[in-house]
Amino acid sequence: MLKVGDKAPDFKLLSEHGKEVTLKKLKGHKVVLYFYPKDDTSGCTQEACDFKDSIKVFEKKETVVIGVSRDSVESHKKFKIKYELPFTLLSDESTTMLEEYGVWKEKSMYGRKYMGIERTTLLIDEKGKIKEIWNKVKVPGHIEAILTKL
């Protein structure tokens, strides 16, 4: 389980444009890495649009915003276009990175158990260290909580 102060695990995932993104290449930037369950669902759309609405503030604070889910590159591309999202979305269909970050968990809905992404956000500093972790994120007010930490 990752905790504040840990070095964030490097990753190599494809963006919505099919380009490879690694944490190592983002060194020197603060990174908000947010994990969400599924493209184009109500909570995930609201969260993405909240990030979009505040992107200028993140940019002023020299912070890169990246969303990660298990959806395909093609799904991310459609989601990004539909909502005009101004940040990168990464695809982890294999769940390798999701498991490494501890967000791929057993969930339960209507008594049925299944594996899925627990909505989580990490703030990573310029040196790759985890500065803050928000687990079991509730979308309303979340952006404000992140901006307060920046």
Catalytic one among 32, 44, 98, 117?
A: 44
Q: What is the pLDDT of residue 31?
A: 98
- Look at residue 142 in the predicted model and tell me its pLDDT: 94
- Block means of pLDDT (10 residues each) for the chain, 150 residues, are 95 96 95 97 95 97 97 97 98 96 91 92 97 95 94
Q: What is the pTM assigned to this prediction?
A: 0.94
Q: DSSP class of residue 129?
A: B
Long-range contacts of 21-27 (CB under 8 A, 24+ apart): 21/66, 21/88, 21/90, 23/124, 23/128, 24/128, 26/64, 26/124, 27/126, 27/127, 27/128
What is the pLDDT at residue 108? 84
User: What pLDDT score was predicted for residue 40?
Assistant: 95
* CB 29 within 8 Å of CB 66: no
* Domain positions in the chain: 12-149
- With a CB cutoff of 8 Å and minimum separation 6, the contacts of 103 are 35, 117, 118, 120
**Of the candidates 34, 66, 57, the residue with the CA atom closest to the CA atom of residue 139:** 34
Helix (H) or strand (E) holding 146: helix 142-149
pLDDT for the residue 23: 95
49 is catalytic: no
Half-sphere CA count of 36, side-chain side, radius 13 A: 28
- How high is the pLDDT of residue 109? 80
| Predicted pLDDT of residue 50 | 97
C-alpha–C-alpha distance, residues 7 and 19, integer Å: 24
Can you give the pLDDT at residue 120? 97
The reply to whether CATH 3.40.30.10 applies to domain 12-149 is yes
For 7, the 3-state DSSP assignment is: strand
